[in-house]
Amino acid sequence: MTASARNFLEFHDIPEAGLRSIIARAGALARAWNERTMPQSLAGRRVALIADDSGWRNTTAFDLGVQAMGGICVHVPIGFNGREEPGDLAGYLGNWFDMMVIRTRELAVLKAVAAAAPVPVINARTRSNHPCETLGDLAYINSRRGSIDGLKVVGVAADANILRSWVEASIALPIEVVQVYPERWHISDTALLNERFRVSTDMGELSDANIIITDSWPGDAVGDALAGYRIGADILDRLPEDAIFLPCPPVTRGQEVTAEAMEHSLCQSRAAKAFLLHAQNALMEWVVG
């Protein structure tokens, strides 16, 4: 397989079999992490980590994971909106590195870098999508449930990067994703529409959900217009006892969630985010083959 075939820019870039192997491997790497017996899968590998945007969770996990598996991680202090073309930067970095992990705002810029790069490129977040976050959550869900097949994932969120990556996942994997939100914030991008994704305004969709995700309220929401879509303990109390609630950090208590919901037994955000490290490690292993 060529380097370009091992890019991870959108969740569905990787075929189902590859995604399943990464998710399963994340569970094994979680055990190795806890036992401090990490395989040295990246020994001799040189990874460029570029954070051309704010945020810290998954970039920190990438840095730590590269080092824990024997590789060299270098924080490269460049941006992609300056004087140099993304393709030029990709070529220069390809002289020195075996892999690039990039967090930047525009997916189009990331695609331009990947098109010119002689080495694999991993999307560490754009404002359009966040595939590593969803990969980590799926690895955690798999560790809890033993399978990801047939999941019903309800996203109580506007059209934004977290929800979009779950929709990307529904293209590649046998999971159903339902967006529940007022119509003005529904996803309508034709590139994401598929038979396993649908939209609704009905909070009743949560009654048989396996996974519930949220994201910050959109900036153009007026007043308390979204109060009916706030997740509280009363809603979680009515869900199946094996349901998993995964509010997306950073969480704004009093808006998309209540403080009580964050303390509810179904809220597994902290445990799930531990798997961000393990899933990203498994992804890097897969990328280098």
Domains and CATH numbers, the chain: 4-130+273-288 (3.40.50.1370), 134-270 (3.40.50.1370)
CA distances from 133 to 11, 45, 247, 273 (A): 10, 23, 12, 8
Per-residue pLDDT at 223: 74
Residue whose entry in the numeric block shows the structure tokens 């009905």: 202
**Residue 115 neighbours by CB under 8 Å, 6+ apart:** 4, 87, 90
Please state the rounded mean pLDDT for residues 189-211.
97
Read off the pLDDT band of 5 (50, 70, 90).
Answer: low
Per-residue pLDDT at 18: 97
Per-residue pLDDT at 84: 84
Read off the pLDDT band of 274 (50, 70, 90).
Answer: very high
Per-residue pLDDT at 2: 41
Please state the rounded mean pLDDT for residues 59-77.
97
Q: Is the pLDDT at 263 greater than 90, yes or no?
A: yes
Per-residue pLDDT at 221: 83
Per-residue pLDDT at 264: 97
Please state the rounded mean pLDDT for residues 5-15.
92
Query: pLDDT tens for residues 145-193?
Result: 999 999 999 999 999 999 999 999 999 999 999 999 999 999 999 999 9
Give strand ranges (E) for the chain: 46-51, 72-75, 99-103, 121-123, 152-156, 176-180, 197-200, 211-214, 244-247
Q: What is the pTM of this model?
A: 0.95
Read off the pLDDT band of 56 (50, 70, 90).
Answer: confident
Q: Is the pLDDT at 124 greater than 50, yes or no?
A: yes
Q: Is the pLDDT at 103 greater than 70, yes or no?
A: yes
Q: Is the pLDDT at 3 greater than 70, yes or no?
A: no
